[in-house]
Chain A
Amino acid sequence: MFEQIITMVFQTDFAFSIFRITAPILFAALAAVVAEKAGVVNIGLEGIMLICGLFGTLFSFWTQSWFIGVLGAIVVGILLALMIGFFALKLHTDIILAGIAVNTMSAGGTIFLLYLFTGERGNTASLTSSNILIPTIKIPGLHQIPILGDIFSGHAVLTYVAFLLVFLIWVLLYKTSIGLQIRAVGENAHAAESVGVSVIKIQYIALAISGILCGMGGAFMSMYYSQSWNTGLVAGRGFIALAAQAMGRGEPVGTMFSSLLFGFAQALRTKVSGVQGVSSNLISAMPYLVTIIGLVLYAASTMKKVKKIKNKDK
């Protein structure tokens, strides 16, 4: 049994699938990173992704263009994130509750909206055709290299975008003035306000960026990953992303590695569930267990650091 699993793991298609599975988690995790940096907890990632996934499919169906589909998903993502912002920042709803409300809304609301717009029930399998899915690209040069080509070439456009965004978000946060303001607001809102930064405006911006990222994540799920939209599309990825953000210490690069870890765990689950004698249910629980363990390890290490600093002060 174990031999079987190990030979599976050391195949190029397994490594390929890790990147494919990581991408949506990474989108959402980066969304969590940006929001968290500005001091807002966006727990609505899950719901936003589900709704964006639906609208991505709908827009691409209406316009027969995958690109407009993705753009539509992004716009919807921004609107939803700003709605959370409106309730949390303007009307002082606890932001966690505002996020939960979006998640509540997404579960049945998407089914309702789908019915409203198309008369379909529960999924969009009949709407999607292969020409409006997000295309994959074979990178010339890289594609010809035996092993590397199989792993790194031939992904969907958005998969590359996801990993590129790790760098872009890092640049945004650490090399631009808006990034500085975002970090200042998250670090100490009062201090930021005292030097003339509009805290609410920055938090709206951070939420909007997280909405953009969620929009891409949702579109990736419905327009590439599972090839059509259904209610179980996101399946907790928004929540896993929150954990990935926490485990990655809220930094883009760290978050990428923790997202890859979850991607690995899920890829393993997909592979192993076919093997005789392994319970697919227990394997399915693995990514979530890994999350808790990762969270604990991270929390324990921070605790140690804090203690060290405290001891030094004495």
Chain B
Amino acid sequence: MNNRRMFMFEIIRGAAAILVALIVAMVFIFICSDKPFEALRYMLVAPLITNGSISMNSIYTILAAMTPIIFTGLAVCVMFSSNQFNLGGEGCVMLGGFVAALVGIYWSTGTYLDIVIAVLVASAACAAVLYIPAVLKVKLGASEMVSSLMMNYIIMYVVLHFLNHVFADGSKGSVQTFPFAATAKIPQLVAGGSKLTWGFLIALLFTLLVALFMYRMRWGYSIRMIGINENFAKYSGMKVGAVIILSQVIGGFLSGMGGAIEVLGRYETFLWRDLPGHGWTGITVAILAKNNPIFIPVAAFFISYLNRGCTLMATYCDVPSEMVDIIQAVIFLFFAAEKFLAKYRQKLVVAGAKEEIAQKTASTPKAEGGEA
């Protein structure tokens, strides 16, 4: 009973956070735009409906954009659950994409096994990379946050070095690798020009796997317990160090996989010149999902929808699409705020307790009556 009440409360709170963000957005739109209602319509409705009918193409675009941030969201979920603020997901996405592209170019076997090999090698490489801040944290107590942030930049520059000087396709005007083998390209899920690939289904599959891991397996339980109370976990005999390392290695693996699937699904060659930003978005997604893997796709859908809406708004109206960052940050802040609407929550708890007492007092006289 009480659990359902709390769940309802969380939903109301989420809705309130989104409402606040939308109000902020509206204020900006009204300041910025000559035709604010038009702009709002593009932002909120246009991703689903164009010219009065549901636009499948737009929905496919949203689903395609969800794929990488589901992976990074899951990665953040696992890492933050053990209270490790590892922010290396960003670099891992880039490294994962790069390694996958290289495997697809140079180690092609000519069969569809290419995809599996490329994605796994890329994920393993990223898992190995995030092993470094994890070990530094566990063995030396060095802040995983700072070292993982630094690693993002190191990864970016090292990838750029190899892209520019070693693996560049000299025949092209822009800096990019050679195209990877046709068999390494992740096939489309639906025919047509959309970028929605089988990667999306893999992302959903991994959502299930991570959820099972976190809530049905001993290691997952350890990760969550360490996040809740590290000392308790230590004194109840959990191998805290090993679990902390494991959570970050899994985080690296998932982020790397996200990058690999993104590059192999969406592009023909590797051509990122900068960190793609999916790692940071993953943090927002994980916060919206309350670090619960099952809700990650929902949160990712929301963010992608919002992004798409803002892009459409910027294309057809006079509001820059970058406004989406402000909206995201506002939602993020209120979602993560434990005391947001705390008074209302207090009222709910009190009401629940009163009800329980009322039920008990109502049932006890009956019991006594029975005895008599």
Inter-chain CA distance A284–B164, complex, in Å, is: 14
Once the chains bind, are B336 and A288 in contact (CB under 8 Å)? Answer: no
- Known contacts A246-B146, A295-B146: does B140 contact A104 (CB below 8 Å)? no
Determine whether the beta carbon of B283 is less than 8 Å from that of A100: yes
Beyond A288-B154, A292-B151, A302-B141, is A108–B325 a contact (Cβ under 8 Å)?
yes
Chain B residues lying within 8 Å of A288, measured Cβ to Cβ, are: 150-151, 153-154, 157
Contact indicator A299/B333 (Cβ below 8 Å): no
Name A231's closest neighbour in chain B (CB-CB): B322
Query: Are A112 and B142 interface neighbours, CB within 8 A?
Result: no
Q: Is B167 an interface residue (CB 8 A)?
A: no
Q: A104-B280, A246-B146, A281-B158 known; A303 and B140 CB under 8 Å?
A: yes
Q: How far is the CA of A121 from the CA of B136 in the complex (A)?
A: 42
Within 8 A of A (CB), among B243-295: 277, 280, 283-284, 287
Asked if A6 is at the interface of the complex by the 8 Å CB criterion, the answer is no
Interface residues on A, range: 35 or more
CB distance from A289 to the nearest CB of B (A): 6
* Of B3-11, B197-205, B337-345, B362-370, the one touching chain A: B337-345
Q: What string of 1s and 0s marks CB contacts (under 8 Å) between A66-100 and chain B?
A: 00000000000000000000010011111011101
| A91-B85 CB under 8 A given contacts A97-B287, A104-B332, A299-B141 | no
One of A20-28, A143-151, A163-171, A236-244 at the interface: A236-244
Please tell me which one of the listed residues B164, B323, B332 contacts residue A101 in the complex, with CB atoms under 8 A apart: B332
Measured CB to CB, the nearest residue on chain B to A242 is B146
Interface size class of B (residues with CB under 8 A): 35 or more
What are the interface flags for A100-113 relative to B under an 8 Å C-beta threshold, 1 for contact and 0 otherwise? 11111111110110
Q: Are A112 and B323 in contact (CB under 8 A)?
A: yes
Contacts A111-B320, A299-B136; A239 near B165 (Cβ below 8 A): no
Partner of A300, one of B140, B156, B323, B334: B140
Is B353 part of the contact surface with A, judged by Cβ < 8 Å? Answer: no
Tell me, yes or no, whether A222 is within 8 Å of chain B by CB: no
Q: Say whether B146 contacts A243, CB under 8 Å.
A: yes
Main SS at interface, chain A: helix
A112 touches B161 (CB 8 A): no
Q: Are A282 and B161 in contact (CB under 8 A)?
A: yes
Residue of B at shortest CB range from A236?
B153
A116 sits at the interface (CB 8 A): yes
Which of these, A91, A98, A111, A298, contacts B322 with CB under 8 Å?
A: A111
Chain B residue at smallest Cβ distance from A97: B336
How far is it, in angstroms, between the C-alpha of A239 and the C-alpha of B156 when the chains are bound? 15
Instruction: Tell whether, in the assembled complex, residue B154 and residue A296 are in contact, meaning their CB atoms are under 8 Å apart.
Output: no
Interface membership of B324, Cβ < 8 A: yes
B324: which A residues are within 8 A, CB to CB? 108
Cα A116 to Cα B31 in complex, Å, equals: 8
Given contacts A94-B336, A98-B336, A288-B150, contact A299 B329 (CB under 8 A): no
- A43-B145, A285-B157 in contact; A243/B28 too (CB < 8 A)? no
Contact of B142 with A299 in the complex, beta carbons under 8 Å: yes
The 8 A CB mask of A158-191 against B (1 = contact, 0 = none) is 0000000000000000000000000000000000
Q: CB-nearest residue of chain A relative to B281?
A: A104
Chain A residues within an 8 Å CB radius of B57:
none
Residue from A93, A96, A281, A282 within 8 A of B338 (CB atoms): A93
Known contacts A108-B322, A116-B31, A116-B32; A296 and B339 CB within 8 A of each other? no
- Within the assembled complex, what's the spacing in Å between the Cα atoms of A91 and B338? 6
The answer to whether B194 has its CB under 8 Å from any CB of chain A is no
Evaluate contact between B150 and A239: CB separation under 8 angstroms.
yes
Contact of A295 among B147, B154, B158, B338 (CB under 8 A): B147
Judged by a CB distance under 8 angstroms, whether A291 is at the interface is yes
- Contact of B149 with A by CB under 8 A: yes
The residues of B with any CB-CB pair to A shorter than 8 Å are 28, 31-32, 85, 87, 136, 140-143, 145-147, 149-151, 153-154, 156-158, 160-161, 164-165, 277, 280, 283-284, 287, 320-326, 328-330, 332-334, 336-340
Q: Which residues of A contact B (CB under 8 A)?
A: 43, 87, 90-94, 96-98, 100-109, 111-112, 115-116, 121, 236, 239-240, 242-243, 246, 279, 281-282, 284-285, 288-289, 291-292, 295-296, 298-300, 302-303
Q: List 9 A-B contacts (CB under 8 A).
A: A93-B336, A96-B145, A100-B283, A102-B329, A105-B326, A108-B324, A288-B153, A288-B154, A302-B141
